[in-house]
Amino acid sequence: MPNSPAEQLEAVFLFQEEQISRELLYPEFEAILDGFIPVPDFANASAKAVYVQIDHSLCVTGAVFFLLGFDAKGMVDRRWNVPLRQLIETAGSGPDMGAGAIRLACYSQCSIAWHQKSLWDPLMQRGNNSFVAMRKAVKANRLGLIVKPTPVEEPKPAVAVQAVRSAQEAEREQVALEQKLHDHYAQELRDKMAMLIKEQRLRIATIMNQHQAKFHAVQHEHQQRLLAYQQKHQQFEQQNKELTERNRNLKDTLDVQATKIEGMREYFAHKLKAAQQDESSQVQVLQENFALELDAKIRAATAELREMLDMREVELFYRHQNESALKDEIVNLKRENQQLLKNSGDQLLGRLTKAGVNLVVFLPGLGEIAIALDDIGRYLEDPQAYAADKAGVSEVIYLAWLEHHKSPCCNAVDPRGKLCGRSIPALETPLEFHPGESDRCAQHQAVAYSLVAERR
């Protein structure tokens, strides 16, 4: 039966570059939490730490692998609130570290769901094992833990054995002893096999979580790149439309000017033919006048076109300036609104947070999430935008996924404007959702793929 917390020795190990860099007694760790002692080595970083319980034989009996954030001065983040002792009391079993299976709480094995993101998985690779490093550190006893010697039982005086035994009685005792030894070693083998199976399950869960985290990171990066490409594509299409419209307007203006010039040319040509019957001097004057007037008309038409283009560019410039000013004003108003919301309930929420009360909400696609004190205003202002940010996608994609999750059906529309409406499997997370692909049935997905291939 495990020892009570009062009989356990408590310590905290801080990891840096997958190695134990600092060992602390639990009172020293509490002083760091209370803000009396800074840790400059972890300034502006999140450290991996382990809370361990040790018996008086220097054997680890329980461990909680948790994350600890520090600010720029090396002080612990005041929002940190992980109940280490509560987690270790409700933790599952872990590997044997000398005193039987330890009580283990980590990311892959957490009894309180909303604290899972504050934990991390131990390393269990050969040559880089967190449990081996902890066992060596505890055995080295650099913290000066008090060790109680194991009491040695006095050997009991041997009972007088009968000098003479019958051969039949000795044989029965031999058979009973062999059966007892067989049962003992069989039970010990079963216990070791159960311990190995639990350790392998923990290792498999840790590896699966690591691969899942890498997969989500790659998926998030792919989603961001795809969104950036779509935005660039829309931007280029808009620019192309604007340039096409401007080109069409300029072409119409040039056609009108060319028509006017052609009419003027015909007029002066007719006038020139009529004047050819007069003296040669008059003909030369008319030709010069014709050339001068034609050149003046062309310059006037060109100046008018340039003035129109300059006015259009000035209008666009002032429009961009107004849009930027309005966007800045909207951002400032949102920041002031969030600050007002934060200050209005800051004292009450701060007292609740210090008392260990967390604000937990259920968000579709994310499950239960604990909202930090600084994020309450942003959540109240726009819950859907907050959920999209936590899910790692844009708000547009999150809303599209939410509609898909509520009603998983094909949204493809045929040329006649009829909705397909076939039932499709619902995606559980927004990161896996791609508009135009994930909300289509297999038939319309194949059609979309063929269209993309034709465009390429």
Render pLDDT for 58-102 as a digit per residue (tens, 0 to 9): 899 999 999 999 998 889 988 898 999 999 998 888 888 888 888
Query: Residue 147 pLDDT > 50, yes or no?
Result: yes
- The answer to whether 209 and 121 are in contact (CB under 8 A) is yes
Supply 267's token pair: 């007029």
Q: How many CB atoms lie within 10 A of CB 181?
A: 10
d(CA 145, CA 20): 18
What's the pTM?
0.41
With vertex at residue 372, the alpha carbon angle to CA 368 and CA 378, rounded to the nearest 5 degrees, is 95
| The pLDDT of residue 186 | 67
For CA atoms 262, 265, 271, 273, the dihedral sign is negative
Using DSSP bridges, classify how beta strands 19-25 and 46-54 pair: parallel, antiparallel or unpaired. Answer: unpaired
Query: Residue 158 pLDDT > 60, yes or no?
Result: no
Using DSSP bridges, classify how beta strands 60-69 and 101-105 pair: parallel, antiparallel or unpaired. Answer: parallel
Helices 346-354 and 280-344 cross at an angle (nearest 10°) of: 50
For CA atoms 288, 294, 300, 302, the dihedral sign is negative
Q: What is the mean pLDDT of the chain?
A: 80
The phi and psi torsions of 326 (rounded to 5 degrees) equal -65, -40
pLDDT band at 174 (very low <50, low <70, confident <90, very high): confident
Query: Residue 217 pLDDT > 90, yes or no?
Result: no
Task: Give the pLDDT mean for 119-133.
Answer: 86
pLDDT band at 190 (very low <50, low <70, confident <90, very high): low
Q: Which of 77-81, 350-354, 417-421 has the lowest mean pLDDT?
A: 350-354
Place of tokens 């983040």: 77
**What is each CA distance from 365 to 158, 213, 402, in whole angstroms?**
70, 16, 8
d(CA 383, CA 391): 12
Share of the chain above pLDDT 90, in %: 9
Query: Residue 348 pLDDT > 70, yes or no?
Result: no
Query: Residue 57 pLDDT > 90, yes or no?
Result: no
405 or 197: which leads in pLDDT:
405
d(CA 414, CA 444): 10
pLDDT band at 398 (very low <50, low <70, confident <90, very high): confident
Q: pLDDT per residue over 98-117, tens digit each?
A: 888 889 999 988 888 888 88
Task: Give the pLDDT mean for 248-255.
Answer: 88
